[in-house]
Amino acid sequence: MFFNILPLKYQWAYDIYKTMKANHWEPEDIPMGKDREQWVDQSGAISEIDRWIIKMAIGYFSAAEGIVGDNIIHAVRELITASEVKLVLGRHAHEENIHADSLVYM
């Protein structure tokens, strides 16, 4: 898929895209050491019901991130013709991938 970004038709969309890029992060950027210690600690830092809730939430978001990313690409982005809006939607899908990756990291 190729598209020409210039001339810009929607400056607002390109500005959003640049903001999205500037807010980039990776799962490894988030310190998880204390969280891991609490998870491993069996002394009650996290109750069994809290563990269950956390596991269910991670399971839910694991599926949801994939659904959102797929819908952005296959149901929305394909309908858009403005290149700068395609950039925003592609970046949004990329951020959903980062969210899914962060669940693996946890």
Q: Which of 10, 14, 60, 105 is catalytic?
A: 105
Cα distance between residue 85 and residue 46, in whole Å: 43
Mean of pLDDT values over 91-100: 92
Average pLDDT, the chain: 89
Q: What is the pLDDT of residue 1?
A: 52
How far apart are alpha carbons 93 and 99 in whole angstroms?
A: 10
How many Å apart are CA 44 and CA 64, to the nearest integer?
30
As given in the structure block, the two tokens for residue 17 are 């895209």
Q: How confident is the model at residue 19 (pLDDT cuts 50, 70, 90)?
A: very high
Q: Is residue 14 annotated as a catalytic residue, yes or no?
A: no
pTM tops 0.85: no
Q: How do the domains of the chain map onto residue ranges?
A: 48-106
Confidence band, pLDDT 50/70/90 cuts, at residue 26: very high
Residue 2, pLDDT score: 58
